[in-house]
Amino acid sequence: MNTIAAEMDWLALAQKALNGECLTLEEGIAVLDADNDEVLLLMQAAFKVRKHFYGKKVKLNMIINAKSGLCPEDCGYCSQSIVSTAPVKKYTLLDKDTLVSGAREALARKAGTYCIVASGKGPTDKELDQVVDAVREIRNTMPLKICACLGILKDDQAERLAEAGVHRYNHNLNTSKANYPSITTTHTYDQRVETVEKVKTHGMSPCSGVIIGMGETDQEIVEMAYALRELDADSIPINFLNAIPGTPLEHAGRTPAMKALKVLALFRFICPSKEIRVAGGREVNLRTLQPLSLFAANSLFVGDYLTTAGQDVTADHQIIEDLGFEIELNAL
C-alpha cells in the first residue's frame, strides 16, 4: 500500500464524485492500492455515490450468444477468436424466432435489458436484416430494453439498428490504449472508440466497458475509467477475465476478490452517474464476495455468458433480496 492510499479519506472521494469532480490519477491508484482492511470503508463510500444516483435498485441484463465462433479476430481473451482452440459451439446467426424466444426468457429472469451479441468483426447486411426483424418484433410485443453487440459498425448499419428500435449498443474498449496491441492485432483501440462515437451520433445509448486481468497496470485501469468517462458511456460492464483453456490468456491468474471490489469502487467514483455492471467472470473472480459488488455496481448479467456458464438466476435474485435491494423491472 502506498502512502497516499494509507492517508486517503474514502468518503471525501465519494463527495468529490458527487460534486462532479474527477479523481486525480494518484487518487485513483490509491483506491486500487487500498489495504484490504479498508475495503469495507471503501465500499461504504462507493455506496454513497451509487445510492445517490440509483437508490437500492439493481438492473438485470441477459445475453444471448446470437452467433458463436467463426470469428476472424485474434482477441487473446476470447474463446471464439480465430487463435483459440477452446472447444466452443460454432454456428451462424440465430433465426428471428430464436432471438425473440430469448427475449421472452430475459423477461422470465426479470431482466430489463436483452443483449443480442454476435461474434465477428462486424455484421453482414444479411445478419443485420435478421437482427432488425427480431428487434422490431421484440419492441412491439415486450417491455424490454434491447442492446446489440455486433462488432464494428458502418454508418448505415448504425442508422438501421436505431430505426429498428435498438436502445443501446455495446462495444467494449476492453483494455487501455497502451495495452491494446498485446491483446488484439486485427483491429485497433481507435476503431473501438470510433464505433462508440458512431453509436452516439445515431441516437443509441453507448455501452462500453473493460476486462480486468489482462496484464494491465493499476495506472492503466484508472486510464480506462477516464476513457469511459470521456466517451460518456451510459452503461459500463466491468468484466474480470475468466481465463479459458485454449486461449492465449489461458494462464493468466484470476483477479483477487478484494481487488475486484476496489476496481468497482474506482469506476463508481470516476463515472458516478453511470450504470456500472458486474459482468463476465464475476463468479470465478469475486466468488463468495459477489454480494458486496452491488454496493458499488447497480447492474448484473444474469444467466450464462457467451461461452461460459453463469450462476443460477435464482442465486442472483436471492443476493439482491438478502441485501435489501430491489430488482428494477422493465428498466426502460
Pull the grid cell for residue 27.
487518487
Domain boundaries, the chain: 23-328
Q: Which of 100, 115, 228 is nearest to 169 (CA)?
A: 115
pLDDT recorded at residue 1: 62
Task: Tell me the backbone φ, ψ of residue 266, rounded to 5 degrees.
Answer: -55, -50
- Spatial distance between the Cα atoms of 167 and 126, rounded to a whole number of angstroms: 21
pLDDT recorded at residue 102: 96
By CB neighbour count within 10 A (0-12 exposed, 13-18 middle, 19+ buried), where does 20 fall? exposed
- Spatial distance between the Cα atoms of 19 and 234, rounded to a whole number of angstroms: 19
- Spatial distance between the Cα atoms of 63 and 290, rounded to a whole number of angstroms: 19
Quickly name the fold that domain 23-328 has: TIM Barrel (3.20.20)
Q: In the beta sheet, which residues pair with residue 239?
A: 211
pLDDT recorded at residue 304: 83
- Per the annotation, where are the binding residues? 71, 75, 78, 115, 147, 207, 277
pLDDT recorded at residue 155: 94
Residues ≥6 apart with Cβ < 8 Å to 332: 112, 143, 144, 145, 167
- Per the annotation, where are the binding residues for [2Fe-2S] cluster? 115, 147, 207, 277
By CB neighbour count within 10 A (0-12 exposed, 13-18 middle, 19+ buried), where does 137 fall? middle
- Per the annotation, where are the binding residues for [4Fe-4S] cluster? 71, 75, 78
- Per DSSP, the residues of 153-185 read --HHHHHHHHHHT--EEE---BS-TTTGGGT-S
Residues ≥6 apart with Cβ < 8 Å to 102: 62, 64, 94, 114, 116
Q: pLDDT tens per residue, the chain (332 residues)?
A: 655 666 689 999 999 999 999 999 999 999 999 999 999 999 999 999 999 999 999 999 999 999 988 899 999 999 889 998 999 889 999 999 999 999 999 999 999 999 999 999 999 999 999 999 999 999 999 999 999 999 999 999 999 999 999 999 999 999 999 999 999 999 999 999 999 999 999 999 999 999 999 999 999 999 999 999 999 999 999 999 999 999 999 999 999 999 999 999 999 999 999 999 999 999 999 999 999 999 999 999 998 888 888 899 999 999 999 999 999 986 55
pLDDT recorded at residue 127: 95
Contacts 24+ apart (CB under 8 A), 80-87: 80/119, 80/306, 80/307, 81/247, 83/247, 83/248, 84/244, 84/246, 84/247, 84/248, 85/246, 86/244, 86/245, 86/246, 86/247, 86/307, 87/246
